[in-house]
Amino acid sequence: MREAAAALTFLGPSLAGFLLFYLVPFGAVVYYSFVDAPIEGRFVGFGNYRTLWESGSFRKAFGNSIAFAGVGVPILFAVSLGLALLLSRAVPLRRTFRTAFLLPLVVPVASIALVWQALFHWDGAINGLLAKWGQSPVDWMNSRWSFAVMVLAYVWKNAGYNLILFLAGLANIPTELREAASIDGAGPWRRFRSITWPGLAPVSFFVVVMSIVASFKVFRETYMVAGSYPNDAIYTLQHFMNNSFQNLDYPKLTSAAVLLALVIGAAVYILFRAERHAREVSE
């Protein structure tokens, strides 16, 4: 009892902040999603959700958000893992490269938006290079190319964070196992499949979860680069909710927020179940 009281004493401020700034507001959002107005609203049940799903702009934003996570997360995972495997070896300028990949984590979002605008604007650096090579310029942010541009920005922004996690996971794998496998004649692929990959399983699970969450937070960069109404290819749920808030359309805003939370929660739950099943099979 004494230890529990001490733990609650130290956890109290954090729990109070979580309750006040996260749990209670989210409960209010759930409540408002079932009424037709935030003030003296009338209970309409799932009417707001039906109206929301009938909206073509919402369906487009929902599909784009799922597509962005489905494309961006695997690419980010592969790039981060590849960089970690490379930088875990004795390569030249290894510390310099590690620092360089961490810089996007500390650079303000506004600065990132300016860099990407300078690169992919109609009169930007990329089109300047294309014109120098005799190619026609590309309207990167007002065409289907905008999806690839934002995936690239997402990978560039988050690769450093995942890189640190993978490097920590690689450091926890005993080098004796890899050395013994090498002496027994196991090649690089066999050592990776039998030793490195199983040893990185817990870290990989956490990386995937955090990458999914980060994929739904790419709105800031997209908003600063392309504005409130970007090309249809990168019009996501965050754009839809932001525009609903500006239009004071609270039923759509709250319903979309609850659905987004449910989608992320379902994805994380499926990953938890898959990770637990894989751990039970390996044991």
Q: What is the pLDDT of residues 151-164, one digit of tens each?
A: 988 898 888 889 88
Close Cβ partners of 180 (under 8 Å, ≥ 6 residues apart): none
Across the range 165-188, mean pLDDT stands at: 80
Across the range 126-135, mean pLDDT stands at: 85
Tell me how far apart the alpha carbons of residues 130 and 110 are, in angstroms, rounded to a whole number.
Answer: 26
User: Which percentage of the chain shows pLDDT scores above 70?
Assistant: 98
pLDDT category of residue 283 using cuts at 50, 70 and 90: low
pTM of the predicted protein model = 0.83
The answer to whether residues 186 and 43 touch, using CB atoms and an 8 Å cutoff, is no
The domains found in the chain, sorted by start residue, are 56-282 (1.10.3720.10)
The confidence score (pLDDT) of residue 74 equals 94
Give 106-147 as a DSSP string: HS-HHHHHHHHHHHHSTTSHHHHHHHHTTPPP--GGGSTHHH
User: Which percentage of the chain shows pLDDT scores above 90?
Assistant: 9
Q: Is the pLDDT of residue 281 over 70?
A: no
Q: Is 37 helix (H, G, I), strand (E, B) or coil?
A: coil
Tell me how far apart the alpha carbons of residues 98 and 163 are, in angstroms, rounded to a whole number.
Answer: 8
The confidence score (pLDDT) of residue 77 equals 94
Tell me how far apart the alpha carbons of residues 58 and 24 are, in angstroms, rounded to a whole number.
Answer: 26
Q: Is the pLDDT of residue 282 over 70?
A: no
Q: Is the pLDDT of residue 95 over 80?
A: no
What's the mean pLDDT when you consider all of the chain?
Answer: 84
Q: What is the pLDDT of residues 17-68, one digit of tens each?
A: 989 988 899 998 999 889 888 777 788 888 889 988 888 889 998 999 899 9
Q: Is the pLDDT of residue 168 over 80?
A: yes
The confidence score (pLDDT) of residue 71 equals 93
The confidence score (pLDDT) of residue 3 equals 85
Q: What is the pLDDT of residues 221-270, one digit of tens each?
A: 777 777 777 888 888 888 888 888 888 888 888 999 998 888 888 888 88
Question: 259 versus 180: which is more confidently predicted?
Answer: 259
Region of poorest pLDDT, from 1-5, 119-123, 184-188, 189-193: 184-188
